[in-house]
A and B are shown apart, each in its own frame.
Chain A
Amino acid sequence: MVPLSQLLPGQSGKLVSLNPERALDQRLMALGLIPGMPIVVVRRAPLGDPIELRFNETEICLRAEEARAILVDVAADCPLPRPPAP
């Protein structure tokens, strides 16, 4: 279980938990980001922040700051240290 902000571009995982006490996370849940949802970190913006996420059919951007409180289980075929070279 790691914060979403630590995933490298191209890595994917399953959402474990977020912090619904924050209005932002409630919004993300309304978008369909609920526990168990597979989620991909598509890329980071050229300046390093925000990050682009894809889940279900939705693509959104989100700042790393906010992604820190979101915990994911990294997919088994995508080990943490380095993503497979594209």
Chain B
Amino acid sequence: MSAAPLPRVAVIGNPNTGKSTLFNALTGLRQRVGNYPGVTVARKSGTCDVGGGRLVELVDLPGLYSLAAVSPDEQVVIDVLLGRHAGSAPPDAVLVVCDANNLLRNCFLASQVAELGLPAVLVVNQADVARERGMDIDTDLLGARLGVPVALVSAWRGEGLAEVRRHLAAALAGGARLRRVEWPAAVAESVAEVAAAASRDTGKPVPAALAQRLLFDVSPALAESLRWGEAARAPVLRAARERVRRSGMNPPAAEALIHYGRLRAELEGVVRGASRPTRTAAVDRVLLHRFLGPVAFAAVMLGLFWSVFALAKLPMEAILAGVDWAKAAAAPRLEATPMLQSLVTDGILGGVGAFLVFLPQIALLFLLVGLLEDSGYMARAAFIMDRLFGWCGLNGKSFVPLLSGYACAIPGILATRTIEDPRARLATAFAVPFMSCSARFPVYALMCSAFIGPWHGPLWESVAMVGMHLVGLLVAVPVTFLLTRVILRVRPAPFVLELPRYQLPKPRDVLWRVGQSVWEFIQKAGTVIFALTIVVWALTYFPRDTEVAERARAAALAAGADEAKAAAVAQASLVESSWMGRMGKALQPAFDPAGFDWKLTVGVLASFPAREVIVSTLGITYALGEETGADSEQLREAMREATWAEGPRAGTRIFTLPAILALMVFFALCSQCGSTVATLAQETGGWRWAAISFVTMTALAWLAAVAVYQVGTALA
């Protein structure tokens, strides 16, 4: 390996043209791809061999239609192209990816990129689709007109990659630049003027390409990111634009008119043959029909969640059985060292096992969402839902983040980057953690299967499960409404979304994505959850005051209990006198109005870093020391038996219907996920909104739990 950094090539192009697919094909990496404009929201590097062992660094970027960047994902591209990331220079070349089916529009971005004067290669992708539609693209002619080598590619099928590599190698060896448009003199002079003034005011050289953006862009986003103050830039830009206007052009419209005018001529004769319409229009006549459309939408959403629960049942039971088997196998071997036995069976197997059980569900959810996305339906769902979301100050583009939030809030929050309006984006990111992510599922499943099922039958069990998945959504609506209308005062922001062509989902892409999320989940189980489980176990195990246990045992025996019962009582007293037990007891009064005893309080406290920990914590606190550890049936049994030890409710059951509902509602609403809070802070540019989200969600969770318990108990 040479010490010199590899030459860098930026992959840019319109959204959904296949940049990430091409990137994956060239680098062998597995960036996420999907048939929705805005799948990639951050840059990602990989190395690619351009022939003869020559390596280059390829940078996959979010898609954009124009260098007049508005949303944060688009600004990422500008920053990379201008080399404004800390410690990085502009790329050595650009790979401009175009959709063969829409060359004119795709070449607009290429014309803008031409102004940067970087060596370039043009990729005309999705050639297979174009061919099927009867289009015949003359790449030599296109190359001659635009001034750079052109490769006809089907990134998905891997066709044309060798040509891309060859062209890239040539481009890096001092290759051709995209031909620039001839700007009228007035534009050229104005650009020079802006460049000089901006360089002077900001103290940093502002290249002509950047100055051109400042001249043309209506949105002040770029000027602000340069820290070119409003007061300094306004007179300069006004004068420069006035000059353009005097020469007979409307400055904000000039760029598009000039580029499109030239491209019309240059693309003449490049695409031959008819372009037959795709089946998309016919499918949309049904799926976006006034009456059938909403019906189809509801059916898709119901089908999605129903399948997640129905199909995951068997594999979940298999995993549970496996974990129980492992515990049963481990317990006798470790009998000689009770502490180690407890650590392995109660702590590690109990905790991590309880978490892994939800793997099938997560895999299924990602599979189904992936299939929907790759088919092209997500953009349609956004189209259908925009009006409803608009009432709460969000917009159609909030749909994908919110739906992803049902799997996990983190990808959901990241997906908000495609929303242009900063306040609508913030509001969406704020709403995402309310969606019932898959980590909340364990606690619902435990409570419903231990109590509601046996008490009221399977129908009510399902109703409760569905209801819990809706609680977050139902609370998020008024909260978001308040936030957007009263606090942020979001004005209805424009909503422009491209509707991609439908396609049959590509199994490879979807399965990659499922595999990736499953792997991430397993890693989380192996690291964060594993560590937290051990911490909880240790806090519950130590300090092991055997004297207290002995006294409790003797008291139980004296009261006429049998040997087994007395041992259990002794165990319970050990838990009670542990660090965690003391902590739970100290804080229990805060949760008393919600009907939580000190053990539940321990569970709630332990779940703040990651809510998945609740089930294993309850396993440890309610059933520690039972013969085979905290397997789920035993845990359910122990919870059903649990009664209040003291206070006005002494002797009555802890887990009454109101208490169970209160606990589930608490988990549905509470912000108990360190990674989500950190992601929110990262995406909203500071801890302020992360803190607001944490406090709001936790306070709402407590209030709702108290309300449910108090009202429920009063009615019962």
Name A's B-contacting residues (CB within 8 A): 20-24, 26-32, 34-35, 42-50, 52, 56-63, 65-66
Q: Are A45 and B217 in contact (CB under 8 A)?
A: no
CB neighbours (8 Å) of A24 from chain B are 494, 496
CA A56 – CA B103 in complex, angstroms? 10
Query: Which of B109, B253, B260, B290 has the most chain A CB atoms inside 10 A of its CB?
Result: B253
- Are B387 and A34 interface neighbours, CB within 8 A? no
The docked-state distance in angstroms from the alpha carbon of A42 to that of B66 is 24
Q: List 17 A-B contacts (CB under 8 A).
A: A23-B217, A23-B218, A27-B68, A29-B257, A30-B65, A30-B256, A31-B65, A57-B102, A57-B104, A59-B280, A59-B498, A59-B499, A60-B496, A62-B494, A62-B495, A63-B386, A66-B496
Are B383 and A21 touching (Cβ within 8 A)? no
A20 contact from B105, B253, B386, B396, Cβ within 8 A: B253
Distance of B155 from chain A, by nearest CB (Å)? 19
Number of A-B contacts defined by CB within 8 Å: 123
Whether B654 sits at the interface, judged by CB under 8 Å, is: no
Cβ-defined contact, B294 with A46, below 8 A: yes
Residue of A nearest to B292 (CB): A46
B294 contacts across to A, CB distance below 8 A? 46
Say which residue of B284, B382, B387 sits within 8 Å of A48 (CB atoms).
B387
Q: Is the CB of A30 within 8 A of B66?
A: yes
Mark contacts of B367-411 with chain A using CB atoms, 8 A cut-off: 1 yes-contact digit, 0 otherwise: 000000000000000111011101000001000000000000000
Are the C-beta atoms of B494 and A45 separated by less than 8 Å?
no
Q: Does B593 contact A (CB under 8 A)?
A: no
Please, which residue of chain B has its CB at the minimum distance from the CB of A33?
A: B256
Give, as a whole number of angstroms, the nearest-CB distance from A21 to chain B.
Answer: 6
A50 pairs with B386, CB closer than 8 A = yes
Check B492 against A32 for contact (C-beta < 8 Å). no
B260 adjacent to A32 (CB under 8 Å): yes
Q: Is the CB of B101 within 8 A of A57?
A: yes
Determine whether B219 belongs to the interface, using a CB cutoff of 8 Å to chain A. Answer: yes
B396 in contact with A21 (CB, 8 Å): no
Q: How far is the CB of A56 from chain B (nearest CB, A)?
A: 6
Do residues B492 and A65 form an inter-chain contact, with CB atoms below 8 A?
Answer: yes
Contact yes or no, A49 B386, CB < 8 A: yes
Decide: B498 and A26 in contact? CB cutoff 8 A: no
- In the complex, whether B191 has a CB less than 8 A from a CB of chain A is no
Bits for B485-504, please: 1 = Cβ < 8 Å to A, else 0: 00000001011111100000
CA gap between A46 and B288 in the complex, in Å: 7
Cβ–Cβ contact A61 & B104, under 8 A:
no
Q: Which B residues are in CB contact (< 8 Å) with A50?
A: 383, 386-387, 396, 495
Contact residue among A23, A35, A48 (Cβ-Cβ distance under 8 Å from B68):
A23
Cα-based distance from A31 to B253 in the complex (angstroms):
12
Q: Are A30 and B108 in contact (CB under 8 A)?
A: yes
Q: Which of B108, B252, B387 contacts A26 (CB 8 A)?
A: B252
- Which chain B residues border A35 with CB–CB below 8 Å? 257
Contacts of A28 in B (CB 8 A): 496
Say whether A61 contacts B253, CB under 8 Å: no
Whether B256 pairs with A52 at a CB distance below 8 angstroms is no
The smallest beta-carbon distance between A33 and chain B, in angstroms, is: 9
The residue among B68, B256, B281, B390 with the most chain A CB atoms within 10 A of its own CB is B256
Instruction: Annotate B254-297 by CB proximity to A: 1 below 8 A, 0 otherwise.
Output: 00110010000000000000010000110010001111011000
For A22, A48, A61, the residue with the greatest tally of chain B CB atoms inside 10 Å of its CB is A61
Q: A65–B495 Cα gap in the complex (Å)? A: 10
